[in-house]
C-alpha cells in the first residue's frame, strides 16, 4: 500500500476574524450601518450578562445592580487606556464599581488596572466574554458564564548551559471559584487541576504569539508538565517571555515577563 502524501498546509488562528464574521452574521444586514451593528452587539452581550443598557455615557455601556459595565470590542483587545477612560468616567459619575467584559486583554493589564482602580476608590472586575456566546444552542440553553480574569505566577531560572533558561508554572488562580459548577469544583485537588494547556513564547515580539514549547493534557495522559525544557538563547540581551495558559473552561490567560540574558 502506498503511503498517503500530505501537501504543505497552514494552521491559522481565526481569533478576532471568526468573531468579526459572527458579528456580521448575527447582527448585520444589507442595510445595517456600522453604528447599529455595534449597538446590537453591545445590547446582546449586556443581556447575556444580565445588565441593562446605559444611555448618555461615553465609555460605559450598561448597568448591573450597583455596577456599571463596559463591553470590549469584537476585533480588539481591551487596553489599559480603555479601562483608564472607564475609571475616569466612573469617578465623574460617582460610581464605585466597574465590570469590564472582554474577549482579549492587553498584556500585563490585570494587576496594573486593579491597583489603578483601588487608588480611585473603585472596585474593578475583569471578565472574559466566553466563546460560547457565538453558539446559538448555548445561548438558548442559558449556558453562558462570564468568568473573572485569572492570573498566573511563574519562576524563570537559569539551566546548566550558557544562556539557557527554564520556566516553571508555580500558581494559577481563578478569583471567583464560587462560579465554577459544583460537580467540577469537587474534583479539583490542587491549583494545576484548573490548567488544561500552557505554552511559552521565548521571544515575544508584542504581536503574534509563537508557540515554542507546550504541555497539555489528553484523554489518556492527564499528567501536565509544570516546568519547561531548557531554552538556549543565541545572544545576550533583553527578551520578553510570554506564558499562555488555557484553563479547563477554555479561557485564555496570558502574561509577559522580561528576562535579561547575559
The tens digit of pLDDT for each residue in 114-125 reads: 889 999 999 999
Q: Between these two residues, 154 and 17, which has the higher pLDDT value?
A: 154
Q: What is the mean pLDDT of the chain?
A: 89
Q: Are residues 60 and 135 in the same domain?
A: yes
Could you give the CA distance from residue 55 to residue 49 in angstroms, rounded to a whole number? 17
Q: Are residues 21 and 125 in the same domain?
A: yes
Q: Are residues 158 and 232 in the same domain?
A: yes
Q: Are residues 128 and 20 in the same domain?
A: yes
Q: Are residues 36 and 135 in the same domain?
A: yes
- Domain of residue 128, residue span: 16-141
Q: Are residues 120 and 155 in the same domain?
A: no
Any domain includes 24: yes
The answer on pLDDT for 12 being more than 50 is no
Q: Are residues 120 and 226 in the same domain?
A: no
- Is the whole model's pTM more than 0.85, yes or no? no
Any domain includes 8: no
Could you give the CA distance from residue 49 to residue 60 in angstroms, rounded to a whole number? 14
| Helices and strands per DSSP (H, E), number in the chain | 6, 12
Domain count, the chain: 2
Q: Between these two residues, 6 and 81, which has the higher pLDDT value?
A: 81
In angstroms, what CA-CA distances link 80 with 70, 108, 126, 173, 204? 13, 9, 12, 21, 19
pLDDT digits (tens, 9 = 90+) for 212-246: 999 999 888 889 999 999 999 999 999 999 999 99
Q: What is the pLDDT of residue 29?
A: 65
Cell matching residue 110: 490585570
Q: Are residues 134 and 82 in the same domain?
A: yes
**CB-based contacts of 58: which residues, under 8 Å, 6+ apart?**
85, 89
Cell matching residue 148: 473573572
Amino acid at each position: 500500500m502506498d503511503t498517503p502524501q500530505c501537501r504543505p498546509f497552514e494552521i491559522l488562528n481565526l481569533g478576532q476574524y471568526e468573531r468579526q464574521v459572527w458579528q456580521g452574521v448575527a447582527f448585520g444586514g444589507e442595510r445595517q450601518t456600522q453604528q447599529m451593528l455595534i449597538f446590537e452587539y453591545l445590547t446582546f452581550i449586556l443581556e447575556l450578562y444580565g445588565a441593562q443598557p446605559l444611555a448618555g455615557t461615553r465609555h460605559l455601556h450598561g448597568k448591573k445592580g450597583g455596577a456599571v459595565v463596559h463591553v470590549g470590542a469584537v476585533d480588539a483587545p481591551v487596553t489599559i487606556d480603555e479601562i483608564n477612560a472607564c475609571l475616569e468616567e466612573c469617578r465623574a459619575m460617582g460610581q464605585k464599581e466597574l465590570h469590564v467584559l472582554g474577549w482579549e486583554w492587553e498584556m500585563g493589564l490585570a494587576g496594573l488596572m486593579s491597583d489603578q482602580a483601588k487608588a480611585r476608590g473603585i472596585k474593578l472586575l475583569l471578565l472574559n466574554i466566553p466563546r460560547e456566546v457565538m453558539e446559538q444552542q448555548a445561548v438558548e440553553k442559558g449556558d453562558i458564564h462570564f468568568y473573572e480574569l485569572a492570573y498566573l505566577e511563574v519562576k524563570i531560572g537559569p539551566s546548566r548551559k550558557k544562556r539557557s533558561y527554564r520556566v516553571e508554572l508555580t500558581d494559577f488562580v481563578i478569583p471567583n471559584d464560587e462560579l465554577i459548577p459544583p460537580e467540577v469544583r469537587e474534583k479539583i485537588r490542587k491549583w494545576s487541576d484548573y490548567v488544561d494547556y500552557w505554552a511559552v513564547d521565548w521571544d515575544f515580539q508584542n504581536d503574534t504569539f509563537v508557540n515554542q514549547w507546550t504541555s497539555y493534557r489528553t484523554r489518556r495522559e492527564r499528567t501536565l508538565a509544570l516546568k519547561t525544557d531548557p531554552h538556549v538563547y543565541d545572544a545576550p540581551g533583553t527578551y520578553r517571555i510570554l506564558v499562555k495558559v488555557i484553563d479547563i473552561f477554555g479561557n485564555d490567560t496570558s502574561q509577559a515577563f522580561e528576562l535579561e540574558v547575559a
